[in-house]
């Protein structure tokens, strides 16, 4: 007897509906066809154990399971449940099996028939609604994630017996509701800028970076507070819009990074990979491509601490995603795109000993060592970083002073207001950091006084040509924070301060 059920496979951040055909005929042996990986092939053992443990029988005749389309590779254990239900229906052990083709069914089986969580429930739910299925059946742990999708009944169960009861009609549960707070715990819940003593100049630079979406490099001595300040960046970023939250949640769902019983991510992600990370871990990869760190940082912050310690080849792979806002991973049979629209935040020491330009300590590096250390970071990568900010240690009187500075919530309000200026100006969700050279000419015009100031700065500070556009973009953001329609000389003067590594004299001992 031939039975069809429907499952789903995730490629990139999108799902594809898979037809699971089960046929029991005369003969011997069990075959799973349709480009299954080892985890799918092993489902035969899990399915047989789950069926026998719950008082049913596994057919000893020829059993063929076809996963169509056959040209798409199938991976993971999430096909266990539709295969098991197909086997039970094909052997007349499951009343109500005529309704199997009305639902997308996915779930990993334990040997006792219990259901374990799966990856990618959110894109599966989106695809099920798009194709008009009556509902989605999946493990209880994935329920809240799938109920983010409106207009699709989600039925969640903890055991295969409960699923069979649902189709039998004797145990019909209402669709699962996403009760409680929809947001999962986000990075930095207990962090705030009012904990930071001093460093007003750095706080201002990070506020500008957040307001314009600018990539930023913090450079300073060990213990100056670079990492502490960077970790507080997510607390001043504007909240995710609904489309951004859905896209971010899809990526984390596909990567299996959502905790069980979690729902929509509502705060911007903050990813901080160690400097030993490989290129594949950073951009994503694998035989079945999975998102890497830069995709997990989509709509949020990618923080690279100790930037020169990263392999140069690893750093170079992020250059194209920084420009394109996506990562394309190609394999022999499949090519997938992962979103990668992130803000790069990096930190580094100024030299190998860490004390170049320190106000109190002498740099012990050999001549030329500072420039050699900086050369670990390529010019094209530095070209994509808008703000270079020197971080100096905090004096004792600031550390011992009572009270802190502004709270993150106060700074965030100014950031949100600046982003609203940009949204009105560009008529779409584009930040100042993303505007093209043509848009710079249109929206970053400066008067004669500003032209003179910028020309003087370029000549006297020996700024490189690549600094010109960056200064104008940052000045545009500073003007937005001040609610000014036009860029003034004061805005330009502040923006010029944030290009320390472009100065020819910097790093030359």
- What does the pLDDT read at residue 175? 61
148-173 pLDDT, tens digit each: 898 899 999 999 999 999 998 755 55
What average pLDDT does the segment 118-134 reach? 94
Residue where a domain stops, chosen among 168, 184, 202 = 168
What average pLDDT does the segment 59-84 reach? 91
Closest CA to 19 of 33, 8, 30, 31: 8
Residue where a domain stops, chosen among 379, 402, 420 = 420
- β-bridge mates for residue 2, sequence order: 23
| pLDDT of 308 over the 60 cut | yes
The answer to whether residue 318 is domain-embedded is yes
The answer to whether residue 442 is domain-embedded is no
d(C-alpha 72, C-alpha 35), whole Å: 7
Closest CA to 479 of 398, 414, 397: 414
* 63 confidence band (pLDDT: 50, 70, 90): very high
The answer to whether residue 346 is domain-embedded is yes
The answer to whether residue 180 is domain-embedded is no
The answer to whether residue 480 is domain-embedded is no
d(C-alpha 404, C-alpha 42), whole Å: 58
Answer yes or no: do 85 and 221 share one domain. no
Answer yes or no: do 246 and 340 share one domain. yes
CATH number at residue 157: 3.30.230.10
Higher local confidence (pLDDT), 245 or 181: 245
Answer yes or no: do 252 and 144 share one domain. no
Q: Range with the lowest mean pLDDT among 190-199, 219-228, 270-279, 347-356?
A: 190-199
What average pLDDT does the segment 319-335 reach? 83
CB atoms within 10 A of CB 71: 9
Answer yes or no: do 222 and 142 share one domain. no
The range of the structural domain enclosing residue 149 comes to: 2-168
- What does the pLDDT read at residue 176? 61
The answer to whether residue 61 is domain-embedded is yes
Answer yes or no: do 130 and 207 share one domain. no
CA distances from 466 to 142, 322, 444, 457, 499 (A): 48, 16, 16, 14, 10
Answer yes or no: do 235 and 351 share one domain. yes
The answer to whether residue 439 is domain-embedded is no
352, HSE (Cβ side, Cα atoms, 13 Å):
12
Answer yes or no: do 236 and 153 share one domain. no
Closest CA to 284 of 334, 345, 347: 334
CATH number at residue 272: 3.40.50.300
Q: What is the pTM of this model?
A: 0.87
d(C-alpha 152, C-alpha 399), whole Å: 55
420-479 pLDDT, tens digit each: 999 999 887 678 998 888 888 889 999 999 999 999 988 888 777 778 888 999 999 999
The answer to whether residue 124 is domain-embedded is yes
Answer yes or no: do 198 and 129 share one domain. no
Phi/psi-derived region of residue 338, left when phi > 0, alpha when psi is between -120 and 50, beta in every other case: beta
Phi then psi for 345, rounded to 5 degrees?
-125, 120
Answer yes or no: do 112 and 251 share one domain. no
How many domains are contained in the chain? Answer: 2
**What DSSP element (H or E) covers 342?**
none
Answer yes or no: do 144 and 277 share one domain. no
Q: DSSP letters of 395-449? A: PHHHHTSSS-S--HHHHHHHHHHHHHHHHHHHSSS--GGG--HHHHHHH--B-HH
* 136 confidence band (pLDDT: 50, 70, 90): very high
Answer yes or no: do 280 and 334 share one domain. yes
Answer yes or no: do 208 and 154 share one domain. no
**For a pLDDT cut of 90, what percent of the chain falls above it?**
51
- β-bridge mates for residue 335, sequence order: 330
* 174 confidence band (pLDDT: 50, 70, 90): low
d(C-alpha 311, C-alpha 273), whole Å: 13
Residue where a domain stops, chosen among 420, 455, 477 = 420
Closest CA to 157 of 86, 224, 106: 106
256-297 pLDDT, tens digit each: 888 776 778 888 999 999 999 998 899 888 777 889 999 999
Helices and strands of the chain, counted as H and E runs? 21, 18
428, HSE (Cβ side, Cα atoms, 13 Å):
3
């Amino acid at each position: 007897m031939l039975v069809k059920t429907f499952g789903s496979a995730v490629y990139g951040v999108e799902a594809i509906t898979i037809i699971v055909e089960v046929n029991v005929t005369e003969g011997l042996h069990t075959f799973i066809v349709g480009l299954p990986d080892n985890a799918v092939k092993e489902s035969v053992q899990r399915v047989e154990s789950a069926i026998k443990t719950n008082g049913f029988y596994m057919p000893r005749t020829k059993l063929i399971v076809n996963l169509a389309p056959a040209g798409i590779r199938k991976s993971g254990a999430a096909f266990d449940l539709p295969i098991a239900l197909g086997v039970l229906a094909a052997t007349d052990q499951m009343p109500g099996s005529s309704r199997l083709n009305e639902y997308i069914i996915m779930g990993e089986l334990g040997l006792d028939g219990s259901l374990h969580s799966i990856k990618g429930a959110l894109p599966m739910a989106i695809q099920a609604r798009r194709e008009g299925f009556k509902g989605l059946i999946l493990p209880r742990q994935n329920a809240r994630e799938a109920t983010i999708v409106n207009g699709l009944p989600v039925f969640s169960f903890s055991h295969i017996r409960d699923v069979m009861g649902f189709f039998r009609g004797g145990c019909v549960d209402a669709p699962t509701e996403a009760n409680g707070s929809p947001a999962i715990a986000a990075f930095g819940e207990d962090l705030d800028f009012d904990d930071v003593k001093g460093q007003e100049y750095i706080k201002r630079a990070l506020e500008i970076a957040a307001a314009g979406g600018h990539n930023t490099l913090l450079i300073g001595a060990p213990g100056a507070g670079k990492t502490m300040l960077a970790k507080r960046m997510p607390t001043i970023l504007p909240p995710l819009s609904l489309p951004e939250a859905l896209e971010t949640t899809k990526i984390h769902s596909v990567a299996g990074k959502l905790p069980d019983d979690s729902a929509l991510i509502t705060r911007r992600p903050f990813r901080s990979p160690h400097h030993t990370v490989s290129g594949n871990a950073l951009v994503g990869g694998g035989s079945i491509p999975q998102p890497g760190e830069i995709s997990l940082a989509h709509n949020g912050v990618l923080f690279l601490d100790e930037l020169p310690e990263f392999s140069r080849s690893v750093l170079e792979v992020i250059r194209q995603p920084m420009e394109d806002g996506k990562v394309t991973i190609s394999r022999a049979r499949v090519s997938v795109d992962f979103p990668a629209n992130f803000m790069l935040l990096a930190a580094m020491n100024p030299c190998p000993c860490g004390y170049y330009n320190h106000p109190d300590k002498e740099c012990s590096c050999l001549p030329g060592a500072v420039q050699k250390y900086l050369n670990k970071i390529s010019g094209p990568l530095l070209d994509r970083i808008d703000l270079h900010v020197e971080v100096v240690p905090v004096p004792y009187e600031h550390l011992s002073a009572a009270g802190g500075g502004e709270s993150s919530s106060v700074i965030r309000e100014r950031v949100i207001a600046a982003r609203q200026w940009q949204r009105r100006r560009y008529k779409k969700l584009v930040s100042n950091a993303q505007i093209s050279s043509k848009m710079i000419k249109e929206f970053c015009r400066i008067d004669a006084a500003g032209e003179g100031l910028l020309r003087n700065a370029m000549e006297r500070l020996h700024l490189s040509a690549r600094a010109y556009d960056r200064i104008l973009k940052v000045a545009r953001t500073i003007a937005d924070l001040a609610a000014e329609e036009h860029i003034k000389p004061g805005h330009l003067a502040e923006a010029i301060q944030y290009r320390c590594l472009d100065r020819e004299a910097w790093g030359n001992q």
